[in-house]
Amino acid sequence: MSKAAEGRPIQPSAPGGAAAIGRPAIRTEGLSKDFTLHLQGGIRIPVLRDVDLAVAPGECVALAGPSGAGKSTLMRCLYGNYGAGSGHVWVRHDGREVDITSADAREVLAVRRDTLGYVSQFLRVIPRVPTQRIVAEPLMARGAPADQAMAQAAALLARLNLPAALHGLPPATFSGGEQQRVNLARGFAPGYPVLLLDEPTASLDAANREVVVALIAEAKRAGTAIIGIFHDTEVRDRVADRLFEVAPMQDAA
Amino acid sequence: MSALMRASGLQLHFGKVAALDDVALEIHPGEVVAIVGESGSGKTTLLRVLAGMMAPQQGRVLYDGQDVHAMGEAARRGLMRSDWGFVHQNPRDGLRLRVSAGGNVGERLMAAGARHYGNIRAEATEWLKRVEIDPARIDDMPQTFSGGMQQRLQIARTLVTRPRLVFMDEPTGGLDVSVQARLLDLIRALVAELGLAVLIVTHDIAAARLLAHRMLVMRHGQVVEQGLTDRVLDDPQHPYTQLLVSSVLAA
């Protein structure tokens, strides 16, 4: 919690994560996660134990804790990229709560299409697909007309200072910072009700960091619930309403 | 939404070797499902059993509620001409090499009932363009095409009748990496555009990650793990899946 205290307006949340006002857009209930490494003699590594986190619409919660405490693991569990050992991840989707940990694959994909966005640290895309299309695709998947989606993608890429000359190129040869901005545009374009951000400003310069801070503020005003990992404490203190502590687990059982 | 195809309790043994050991599977409209596993794991056998090309010793395969293995050869061939498509690993198995490129595409349309020559040729031309083959080569024989072009022609031939369910057996196997990427992009775009259900057998984990919504991991004739593609690959639970994922070279 030491670093977290440096930020001015942020209140660490209650252990139960009960600070959220109103009905949460996303919440976990007794979420636990172990990894069993069968190739290393079946060693078990516990990472998360009984995590209870709730985030309301329009709220931004920053995950805090030292490296290796399990912040990224928690994010991946929230997105359904990792399964849970026990407990639940409830996402308000289509007027009801869906448990990402137990929903079938088709339902998880529907939640990801309409409700739950994730900006990871790495851009993983099909070779040959141009940047602008990568950003437009989630919009088209939700039914936006192609020309409208492409226009919106171009506008957001431009706002993130990615020159128009690059929009028609696949991002494989882009720099790390450029790829991250493609990833951010893809994550922010659809206006998901819940958005997960894993180090969204890690390889950005000051100007682009400002753009991301503004995008987060706008998303919050639009009612998006945001959960983020921010190593950049200055950015974190400007966007986060509170911190949620992810404590390292003790040694493997 | 109800399943397009539903298989359960599939058993098929070759002597003492279990090619399929109690396999169950569902595929829904618009869904891309990858079947991965090492050679001899039973994945191609599963594809052939689901497509009615081989009969299981036990278990059932239902397509739209009909039992695929009880419906008789004529009905099954009818499905292959209309509702289904099969893309073979070797395009030579799916193409007629002594018939022109346009003829290969047009033939399937004719088998599905098209009769007007002008329309058939126009549609064949359109499909060659969609799979990025120069329409000027419509009258050339597939033998004069590269492997990647032949594979794209096979895809055009398969998709021209707009099937609802497509079986693909290692469609990118044996192709140059650059050609693979182009083919993956093409398959992905067509699948999204046409809303196809696809069952794709591959040992290419990276291709499966990019194409498939859902993944089944097979070993010794059994499905050892299945689920959301990225969860199976990033948080594998079964020892064999962990081995498979950890053996892939990162590009």
Work out the average pLDDT over B102-117.
91
Helix, strand or coil, per DSSP, at residue B221: coil
CB atoms within 10 A of CB B202: 23
Predicted pLDDT of residue B82: 87
**Higher pLDDT, residue A18 or A165:** A165
CB B133 within 8 A of CB B144: no
A7: pLDDT strictly greater than 80:
no
Instruction: Please name the helix (run of DSSP H) or strand (run of DSSP E) that holds residue B78, with its range, or none.
Output: helix B73-81
B-chain residues within 8 Å CB-CB of A129?
A: 185
Q: Which ipTM did the prediction report?
A: 0.88
Work out the average pLDDT over B185-193.
83
User: Which of A80, A126, A127 comes nearest B231 by C-beta?
Assistant: A80
Instruction: Please name the helix (run of DSSP H) or strand (run of DSSP E) that holds residue B194, with its range, or none.
Output: helix B177-194
Predicted pLDDT of residue A139: 97
Q: Per-residue DSSP letters for A187-231?
A: HHTT--SEEEEESTTTT--HHHHHHHHHHHHHHHHTT-EEEEE-S
CA gap A93, A87 in Å, rounded: 19
Predicted pLDDT of residue A22: 67
CA gap B105, B140 in Å, rounded: 12
B103: pLDDT strictly greater than 80:
yes
Work out the average pLDDT over A75-91.
97
CB A52 within 8 A of CB A246: no
Residue A35, strand partner residues: A45
Work out the average pLDDT over A125-133.
86
CA gap A64, B30 in Å, rounded: 40
- Nearest-neighbour CA in chain B from A103: distance (Å): 10
Condensed to tens digits (0 to 9), the pLDDT of residues B126-173 reads 999 988 899 999 999 999 999 999 999 999 999 999 999 999 999 888
Residue B122 — very low, low, confident or very high, per pLDDT cuts 50/70/90?
A: very high
CA gap B198, B216 in Å, rounded: 13
Predicted pLDDT of residue A14: 42
Predicted pLDDT of residue A145: 95
Residue of chain A whose alpha carbon sits nearest to that of B188: A126
DSSP assignment, residue B145?
S
Cross-chain Cβ contact A106/B246 below 8 Å: no
What is the longest distance spanned by two Cα atoms in chain A?
55
CA gap B1, B26 in Å, rounded: 12
| Plot region of A67 (φ>0 → left; ψ -120 to 50 → alpha; else → beta) | beta
Predicted pLDDT of residue B134: 95
User: Which of A80, A81, A127 comes nearest B181 by C-beta?
Assistant: A127
Percent residues over pLDDT 90 in chain A: 81
CB B175 within 8 A of CB B148: yes
Cross-chain Cβ contact A80/B188 below 8 Å: no
First to last CA, chain A: 25
Cross-chain Cβ contact A82/B214 below 8 Å: no
User: Which of A83, A109, A129 comes nearest B185 by C-beta?
Assistant: A129
Condensed to tens digits (0 to 9), the pLDDT of residues A170-192 reads 998 899 999 999 999 999 999 99
CB atoms within 10 A of CB A41: 6
Work out the average pLDDT over B179-207.
85
CA gap A216, A195 in Å, rounded: 10
Residue A2 — very low, low, confident or very high, per pLDDT cuts 50/70/90?
A: very low
Residue A250 — very low, low, confident or very high, per pLDDT cuts 50/70/90?
A: low
A12: pLDDT strictly greater than 70:
no
Mutation for A interface: B219, B230, B241, B247, most A CBs within 10 A:
B230
CA gap A173, A68 in Å, rounded: 30
Cross-chain Cβ contact A126/B184 below 8 Å: yes
Residues near A213 by beta carbon (within 8 Å), at least 6 away in sequence: A235, A238, A239
**What domains, with CATH codes, occur in chain A?**
1-56+65-115+194-203+225-253 (3.40.50)
Predicted pLDDT of residue B113: 86
Predicted pLDDT of residue A8: 43
User: Which of B188, B230, B242 comes nearest A81 by C-beta?
Assistant: B230
A-chain residues within 8 Å CB-CB of B183?
A: none
Residue in the structure block whose two tokens are 């099954």 = B76
Predicted pLDDT of residue A4: 42
B-chain residues within 8 Å CB-CB of A35?
A: 235
Instruction: Show contacts of A67-71: CB within 8 Å, 24+ apart.
Output: A68/A248, A69/A246, A69/A247, A69/A248, A70/A33, A70/A246, A70/A248, A70/A249, A71/A229, A71/A246
Cross-chain Cβ contact B235/A81 below 8 Å: yes
Rg, Å, chain A Cα set: 18
The angle that helices B147-159 and B101-111 make with each other, rounded to 10 degrees, is 20
Cross-chain Cβ contact A128/B181 below 8 Å: yes
